Structure 1
C-alpha cells in the first residue's frame, strides 16, 4: 500500500515564477510553483486582477522551473526540474485547461528520486534560442539535452550528454545568448579537490569561486569546458544579457556589493557597486547582495530589474558599442522598494509580479520606467575608492502602483488556538511574515468568500435571484433584485452593472424568475407572467380580472 496526503488548501508560498506565451502566441500567462503545486495565473489587463486558470498537483517537489521556446515557434513550453530524477517538458493546453506532456516527449530518467546533491534537478539553464537544456546537480553532475522537431513539427529530445566534473560544487547556472552559434552555458562553481587534500585548512581559506562556460558542440554532439575564470568575490546570481542582433551577449555576475559584466574575447570586465541606503541603521560592514532579477526585452531595447535583500529595486541598463560589440558602461538607477521577492517577472502588458519571500504576493502596474524622474543615476564609469559605494534615499512608490494582492500565510512563525471571539468554535491566531511587514491573522473554519464587486442599491430588497441566458451557459448572466415596488436587473461580468434591455419588467416587484427551456427567461409578478425569448421578444400573460399573484414556484 502506498499513501499520499493531500491538503484541503494549497500552499501559500511561491518558490518559482516564470512567464510566457503558453496558451497562444498573443496570450501571456504566469506559471508559479508552490512547492508541490503548479499554478497557471493570468492578469487581466483591464482590471489588473489575477485570475487562476489552473491548479495542478505535481505529486513531488518542484526544484526549478523555466520556459523554453523553440526557434521559429510562437509558444512556450515549461521545463520542470523536480525530485523525481527525471526531466519533464510540459505544454499548457488552453482549450482543455490542462498541463500535458509535450508531444512525443517522454520523461527522461537520469537518476534516483529525492533531493540528492549528486542527482541533477537543482539547477536548470536554457539556451535562449531553445536548442538545448542543461540540468545540473549541486555536486559534480550536469546533463545537456538537445531539443529539436520531427517531420511533424513535434518537440523531440535527445539522449543526455554528460558535462560532469568531479569535486565541483555548483551555485548557479544560466544559458548564454550567443545567437545561433554553438549553445553556451555559464556556471558558478567551486573546485574543492585541493581543500580535501589539505589538512592545514589553508586551501579552504584561500578557495575561490570560478565562472565556467560549457559549450555544446552541435556538430560533434558533445559538451566541453570552454573557459573558466576565478572570481574576486563569491557570487550568488548570474543574469543573461541578450546577444546576437539584440545585444552584446555575456552575463552579469551578481556578487557581494558588486555587479560585474563579463564576456568572451577582448571585452574588459565592467564593475559597478550596488548602491546602499543613506543613513541606514544596519551594520555598515554588512555586504549587499542581489536576491531576485527580471529581464525585459523588446526589439529596440532591454533592461534589467534587480532587487537587493532590503527590497530595493534598481533598473540596470548597459551602454555598448554596436559596431565593436563591446560594453562600455553599466548604469544603475533606483526604481522603487517592494517586499523582498523569491522571484519576480515583468510582463509585456506593463505588470510587475512579485512573489514575496515572506507574506502576501503582489501585482504592480508599471506606470513609468524611471527615466524622467529626478533620481540620480549611478555609473560604472564613476571613479570610486576601493570598497566605496553609491548612496541613495528610499522613498514611497513612484514608478509602481499596487493593483492586486494574493494572500499567503507563509511563513507562519507562531500559532495559538482559542475561542477569543466567543463563537463556540475556536479560531486560529497566527503570526506571519517578518520584520515591519509581519502580520497577526485570525483563521476560521469554513469556506472562503471572495468579494468580486460592490454595487450600491437604491433601497432594501426583499428577494434576489441569479439566472442564465441559456441552459448550457457555464455561468449566470443576470442578478435580479426585487424591491417593494420595482425590479432591478444587474449584469454579471468583471463588474456588476445595471441593464435596461434584459426584457424584465422593472416597474413592479418580482415574485420569482428562472431560465426556461434552452434560451428563454421567465418573470412572475403580481399582475401576470412574462416570457422573454432569446431575441428579446416578450409574451405576456395577464391575471384575469382583479386577481393578482402572491405566491409562485419555478
Structure 2
C-alpha cells in the first residue's frame, strides 16, 4: 500500500471498526518512515560511541531492518490475496474516498408540506414584529406576514434530519424576544434563537436526557412552559417527565439547568400545560391515567373503574425539587388542557377539554365550571358520536383575554370566563366561524389567525370582528338535563376574512407521473386530502405566475422597457414598446395610456432606453442616440454615414454602442449632465452580438467592467478604468455565439466586503453559462452550465424581494434568483416570452412587463422557493387510487370514505328529518312553521367543502368512480356506489374476447369493518366483496356501467393478465373472463395469506405477502 495514501487521516469511526475486526494488518502496515526514523536514531547513537565495532553493528542493524521490511511486505502481500485482505483493501479505499469526495445522498424537490406544530412570537427581536415557527416533521420554517401584500413569506427553512415531536415558544421574564424549544427523536431538548442578520436559527443549548427515537418512555412528546418563562417541562407519553429551569447569566445569555425528575410509574400522559401562577413556584398540569391496577387485573374490571386524573406538579425554586402537589379524578376523559391567564390578568387555573364538555378547574376553593360543547342544528351526524376539542389558541392583552377552541368538525367557538373576586362563576361559548380542522392555531397580535390544517392546505385569516354581535351565546349557567346540549346553525365566514393559503399534499393517497395532458413535459397527479375537502392536484415544475394584465398591441413588438422619470421615483413612469419601424410609449398610472410628450422618437425602432443621470432620458436607435433632458431639450448624436448601431448597453452614467463592423463607441456622463464621447474606439474582428455593463459599486461613479460578446464565439471583459480604458482583461471562449449578456453583483451574506460579480451568458444553442468575474483583475472563472431550451437565451434584469434577479427566456421562461441563502433557477409556468423588463407600480411593486407574440403582459411571481405550481380540482370523497386513460387526457379515480353517507342516503335522511318535523306540528301556525323549516332542510344543502361531511356510524361506507379531463378539470362521468360498499382498487383491463374495448374494473368490499377487521358474523350485514365493470369510451368522454360481480371476500387487487383479469381477495387468486351479465371465473389459486392481510398488489403472477 502506498505511503502517501496511508498518511491520509481516516474517519475515527472506520478506524475503530477496523481495529476491532482486523488488528493484525494494522501492525503490519506501519509506515516505513517509522522504521527509518528508529534506524537513524540508533545509528547516530552508535556513532557517538567510540568503538571499533560501530560499523559492524550499524551494518547489522540496517540488514535486520531490511529483512523485517521485506518479510512485512511479503506477509502483507499474501494477506491481500486472502478474503479478509480484500475486505481490508476495500475498507482503505472507502476510508480515503470518505475524506476526499462528497457524494449526493438525495435532493428533495418538494419538501414536507404537512405542518404538525406551529407557535408564534417575536423571534427576530424587532419591536412589534411577530413570526410563526412551523414544525414540518423533519424541518422547521419561520414565516412572516408581508406588510405590503398581506401574504405569508418564508424567512428561514432548516432541515433538522430528525423528527420534530413538539414545539414551544417562550420568553424569559423581562426579555424582548422569544426562543424556540424543540422536542425531537434525538433524545435532547434543543433551544434555538433566530438571528435575523443571518436569516438562520442558532443553537443556544442542547441537553441530552434519553435515547434516540420516538419512544413512549423517552421525553419529547410534550413541551410546556411556565408563562413567566422560568421553567420548561418536557414529558413522554408514559412515565417520564423532566423540568428544566431557564435563567440568565451575567452577560444576559440564556442558561439552562440540569433536569429535575418528575417521573411516575405506570402512568400515561395525555397533555401537559403550564399554569399561570404569577411569580410563585412554577406549576404544571398534566392529564394522566394510572394503569397499574389495570395491568394487574386479568378480569378487566379495574379498567372500567379507573378514571383519568388531572395532576398538578410544582417546582420548588428554593429546593430545586419537583413535587406532585395535587391530583383529582375526572368524570369525563379529557384530551386537551388550556391554561388560563393568572395574576393581575385573570383567575389562573386550567380548562379541561373533555368529550362533549369543557370543564374549568383550579386549586383552592374554586368550584368546577362545566359547559356542554354545542352541536350543529339539523345535522346528519350519528347522534351517538361524541364531540371533542382538537386544538385551541389563546389571545391575551392587558385588558382582556379569550380562547378560540375548535371541534372535530372544524367549528370554532369563542370561550370567555366571567369572574367574581378571582373566582370563575360562568363559562360562555359563542359560535365564531368554521375553518378546516387544524393541528394547531395561532392568533397574532396584528389580528391574523393561522390554521395549520390536519389535511389539505393551511390557511391564514384576518379577524374582522371578535364575535361580539347578537348571535346566540351559550352559558354554563343555562339549565340542561344530563346529556343534553346546545344547538347552533353554521353560516358562511363572518368573523374571519381569508387572506392566504400554503399548499399541502398531506395526506397523499396516490400519485401518478406522466404527460397525461400532452404538454411535452411530465406532470405529477397527486390525490390528496380527506373527505369533501380532498383534491386532485396537478403539479407542474415551475414558479406560479400571477397575470396582472394582458393587452393586445397593434403589431408584433420586438422589445419592451420600463423607464423612470427621476432617480428618486419609486415607481416606473413609462413603458416603451419597440416595433419594427416604430416606438410606442405608454404612461403608467391608474391605467396604462399612450404618452404624448415623452420626447422619444416614435418613427424608428428603439434598441435601448432608460434613465440617465438624475432626471434625463436616453433613447438609442439605429441611427444615433437621443438625450432627452428634464426640460424637454433634446441632444442627439448621429452615427457616421452608412454606419448603424447594432447593439447597445447603458446605465445611469455610461453608454456603449456597437456599430456595424465591430466598432465599439463609449460615452460617459459628466457632472453637468452632458453625454461625452470617449476619444478612442475599440474595434473587434467580429460583429458584436451583445453587451452589458457591470453594476456601479458603492462609493463609485461608474462601472468598472464592460462585457462584450461577439459572433466569433467569445466573450471579453473590457476595462473602463481611465488608466487602461477599453483594454481587454479576459476572454471566455464559447461553444457557439452568445445571444445576450448580463453582469450582476451578488452581495455577501454578511454584507461586508466586495460583492461577487457574476457574468451570465445566454447562448444561441439554448444554454446558460454562469461565470464569476474577479473584482480586481476582471478574470473569468468558475463556469457553470445549464440547458434551458431549444431557442436562444435572452437575459433580463428583474427585482425580486428587493434583490436582483434574472429572467431567462428560451423556449420557456426561467427565473434565476437568490432566496434563503442559495440561488434558484426555476422555470415559470407560463407561455413563451420574447422580451421582458422589470415593472414597479403601486399595484405591482415587484413585477415584470413582457411581450408574447402581439400581446403586452404585466406579470408577478409569487411563492419563491417552490419547485412546483399547483392546479387543484375538488373531489366529493377521499380519492384512493387512480389510473390514466390510455388514449385521452383523462384520469379515472376511485373515491371512498369510512363513516360516511352517499348522496342518496343523505337526501333520504334529510327527507326523514323533514317529515319528522312536519309530523310533530299540531296547530295551523306550527304546521306552517314546520313546513317552512322542512322545505329549507330539503332544499338547503350545506357546502361540504367548507363545513365538512356529516359523520355516520362505524361500518358505513360511501364510494364513487370519477372520470375527469385533466386539461379542463371537468368531470366527464360520475358513478356513485351503493351505501356500505368501499372501493379498494381499480385497473384497466383489455379482455381477449373484446380486444377493441377497454374495461374499468373496480374492486370493492361490502359491509367491511375497520377494527376489528374480522368482526363477528352478522347475517344482516355479511362481509363480502364485488367487482364493478365499466366500459370506457375510446375518446375518454365517458364510461358506462356494464355489470357487477360478487366475490366471497373484499377485493384487494386487480391486474390485467393475458387477456383476462387477475383478481385477489383474501387468500384467493382468481382469473376472470368477461361475460354478458358478470365476470366468469376461470381458475383459482389459494395462497398462504390470512384474511387480515388481503392482497394489495399483484404484478403478473407474482404476489407479495407481508407475512412471508
TM-score (norm 1): 0.89
Does the Cα contact within 8 Å between 1:532 and 1:538 map onto a contact in 2?
yes
Evaluate the alpha carbon distance shift between residue 519 and residue 545 of structure 1 in structure 2; reply closer, same or farther with a 3 A threshold: closer
Evaluate the alpha carbon distance shift between residue 147 and residue 519 of structure 1 in structure 2; reply closer, same or farther with a 3 A threshold: farther
Q: Residues 48-90 of structure 1, C-alpha deviation per residue, up to 9 Å, x if partnerless? A: 2111111111111111111100001111111111111111111
Aligned to 2:122: 21
Alignment of 1:22-101 (within 5 A): 22-23=123-124, 24-101=126-203
Aligned to 2:214: 115
Q: Residues 184-237 of structure 1, C-alpha deviation per residue, up to 9 Å, x if partnerless? A: 011111111111111111112222111111000001111000101111111110
Aligned to 1:391: 487
* Partner Cα separation in structure 1 for residue 276 and residue 591 of structure 2: 50
Evaluate the alpha carbon distance shift between residue 527 and residue 26 of structure 1 in structure 2; reply closer, same or farther with a 3 A threshold: farther
Evaluate the alpha carbon distance shift between residue 468 and residue 84 of structure 1 in structure 2; reply closer, same or farther with a 3 A threshold: farther
Does the Cα contact within 8 Å between 2:275 and 2:282 map onto a contact in 1?
yes
**C-alpha displacement at 1:438, in angstroms?**
1.1
Look up the SS of the partner of 2:197 in the other structure.
coil
Look up the SS of the partner of 1:328 in the other structure.
strand
* Partner Cα separation in structure 2 for residue 141 and residue 545 of structure 1: 86
User: What is the RMSD of the two structures over their aligned residues, measured on CA atoms?
Assistant: 3.3
1:278 corresponds to 2:357: no
- Which one of 431, 446, 455 corresponds to residue 334 of structure 1? 431
1:438 corresponds to 2:534: yes
Comparing 401-410 and 63-72, the one that deviates more: 401-410
* Partner Cα separation in structure 1 for residue 113 and residue 548 of structure 2: 26
Evaluate the alpha carbon distance shift between residue 476 and residue 86 of structure 1 in structure 2; reply closer, same or farther with a 3 A threshold: farther
Evaluate the alpha carbon distance shift between residue 225 and residue 505 of structure 1 in structure 2; reply closer, same or farther with a 3 A threshold: farther
Aligned to 1:296: 395
**C-alpha displacement at 1:262, in angstroms?**
0.4
* Partner Cα separation in structure 2 for residue 530 and residue 54 of structure 1: 47
Evaluate the alpha carbon distance shift between residue 537 and residue 263 of structure 1 in structure 2; reply closer, same or farther with a 3 A threshold: farther
Aligned to 2:584: 486
1:345 corresponds to 2:439: no
Look up the SS of the partner of 2:130 in the other structure.
strand
- Which one of 559, 562, 571 corresponds to residue 463 of structure 1? 559
Does the Cα contact within 8 Å between 2:620 and 2:626 map onto a contact in 1?
yes
**C-alpha displacement at 1:349, in angstroms?**
1.0
1:380 corresponds to 2:481: no
Does the Cα contact within 8 Å between 1:459 and 1:483 map onto a contact in 2?
no
- Which one of 268, 271, 275 corresponds to residue 367 of structure 2? 268
Evaluate the alpha carbon distance shift between residue 348 and residue 526 of structure 1 in structure 2; reply closer, same or farther with a 3 A threshold: farther
Evaluate the alpha carbon distance shift between residue 454 and residue 132 of structure 1 in structure 2; reply closer, same or farther with a 3 A threshold: same
- Which one of 646, 658, 665 corresponds to residue 551 of structure 1? 646
* Partner Cα separation in structure 1 for residue 636 and residue 628 of structure 2: 15
Aligned to 1:10: 111
Alignment of 1:138-537 (within 5 A): 138-321=237-420, 324-372=421-469, 374-444=470-540, 446-451=541-546, 454-455=548-549, 457=551, 459=553, 462-465=558-561, 481-484=576-579, 485-488=583-586, 508=602, 510-513=606-609, 524-525=620-621, 528-529=624-625
* Partner Cα separation in structure 2 for residue 249 and residue 356 of structure 1: 29
Aligned to 1:542: 636
Look up the SS of the partner of 2:192 in the other structure.
strand
Does the Cα contact within 8 Å between 2:376 and 2:487 map onto a contact in 1?
yes
Evaluate the alpha carbon distance shift between residue 458 and residue 406 of structure 1 in structure 2; reply closer, same or farther with a 3 A threshold: same
Look up the SS of the partner of 1:12 in the other structure.
coil
**C-alpha displacement at 1:443, in angstroms?**
2.2
Does the Cα contact within 8 Å between 1:487 and 1:507 map onto a contact in 2?
no
Answer 1 or 2: which has greater helix percent: 2
Q: Residues 227-266 of structure 1, C-alpha deviation per residue, up to 9 Å, x if partnerless? A: 0111111111000100011000001100100001000100
Q: Residues 120-142 of structure 1, C-alpha deviation per residue, up to 9 Å, x if partnerless? A: 11000000000000011111111
> Which structure: larger Rg?
2
Unaligned segments of structure 1, at least 5 residues: 470-474
* Partner Cα separation in structure 1 for residue 177 and residue 631 of structure 2: 45
* Partner Cα separation in structure 1 for residue 615 and residue 608 of structure 2: 17
Q: Residues 451-508 of structure 1, C-alpha deviation per residue, up to 9 Å, x if partnerless? A: 2x61455846542357999xxxxx99899552443345779xxxx99899xx996664
